[in-house]
Structure 1
């Protein structure tokens, strides 16, 4: 598998040389670079290893004009998210303090700690995030009402990922 940094280095080398076309294939991964008058174009074919984000990063590296367009689109998306957050019916998001597995109750046969409509205090336990066989109780941190549960029981969560939305009292 080629790493993004390795692909970037190949792009730089092709950009600095007089080579107009470059193909590389290894272990089911193929990289094809073609350089024209408008800069390098990169195509990466790797069945399950390269994500859209990686492709966008490669395009940003190889085409400065397109980079400006992508940044502009990102700014527009961020503005829309801010407007959506301002117009929403919640004041606070309870986020995961770690990477782990989300559990809505202390055991499979117990009821969830909270559901939509539940009232919570700042020290109310809202869920458990299990990391490395340690079960960490997550507190609400604010007083209010749960207006949205954003993850499913047993789902993997990332650090900083929103778990619940709360309307403060």
Structure 2
């Protein structure tokens, strides 16, 4: 879980009547509790060592694959702006926002990332043609993870 998201939850707790917040995902547990007017305190935040060990092993090949892509002339990468679940379409019945060969502009929606039960539309923020989709539908993504390769004009 991103520290920015934790700070947002703490701010929300300060502004509302929420006295406890608990979150668990992929073995990571976070529990915040507020007592009276005091600021929320982290009671428990832990990620098991066994769950953390495979993550660097998978992240290393992704980083290695991203390095040559960045060196390709005219190829840019759309990266995930947040941690969440990647969806190529608005619903299972809908067509994908972006496939290989799709022309995109700065405001084109290329995917949705679900984070904390909120569907976030991700824009290309560049113009070009999608040359590769790097993530499978329904897959968990990390902040900064490459999602698409775009051939820019």
Fold in common (TM above 0.5): yes
Provide the residue aligned with 1:140 in structure 2: 124
| Distance change in 2, residues 1:48/1:130 (3 Å) | same
* Over 6 Å off, 4+ runs: none
Looking at structure 2, the residues matched to 123 and 143 of structure 1 have their Cα atoms a distance apart, in angstroms, of 9
Where do 1:2-151 residues align within 5 Å?
48=50, 51=53, 82=67, 85-86=70-71, 88=72, 90-151=74-135
Provide the residue aligned with 1:30 in structure 2: none
Looking at structure 1, the residues matched to 51 and 103 of structure 2 have their Cα atoms a distance apart, in angstroms, of 43
RMSD, aligned CA:
3.1
Q: Once the two structures are superposed, what CA deviation does each residue of 1:83-142 show, in whole Å capped at 9, x if it has no partner?
A: 5642x3652110111000000000000010010000000100000000011000000000
User: Contact 2:100 / 2:131 at 8 angstroms: preserved in 1?
Assistant: yes
Looking at structure 2, the residues matched to 123 and 82 of structure 1 have their Cα atoms a distance apart, in angstroms, of 26
Larger radius of gyration: 1
Looking at structure 2, the residues matched to 97 and 157 of structure 1 have their Cα atoms a distance apart, in angstroms, of 10
**TM-score (norm: length of structure 1):** 0.52
User: Contact 1:90 / 1:165 at 8 angstroms: preserved in 2?
Assistant: no
**TM-score (norm: length of structure 2):** 0.57
Match of 2:138, SS state, is: coil
User: Contact 2:113 / 2:120 at 8 angstroms: preserved in 1?
Assistant: yes
| Distance change in 2, residues 1:91/1:81 (3 Å) | closer
Looking at structure 1, the residues matched to 70 and 119 of structure 2 have their Cα atoms a distance apart, in angstroms, of 31
Provide the residue aligned with 2:27 in structure 1: none
Looking at structure 2, the residues matched to 53 and 156 of structure 1 have their Cα atoms a distance apart, in angstroms, of 12
Looking at structure 1, the residues matched to 86 and 55 of structure 2 have their Cα atoms a distance apart, in angstroms, of 25
Looking at structure 2, the residues matched to 130 and 94 of structure 1 have their Cα atoms a distance apart, in angstroms, of 17
User: Contact 1:104 / 1:112 at 8 angstroms: preserved in 2?
Assistant: yes
Paired residues in the alignment total 101
Extract unaligned runs of 5+ from structure 2: 1-48, 57-62
| Distance change in 2, residues 1:168/1:133 (3 Å) | same
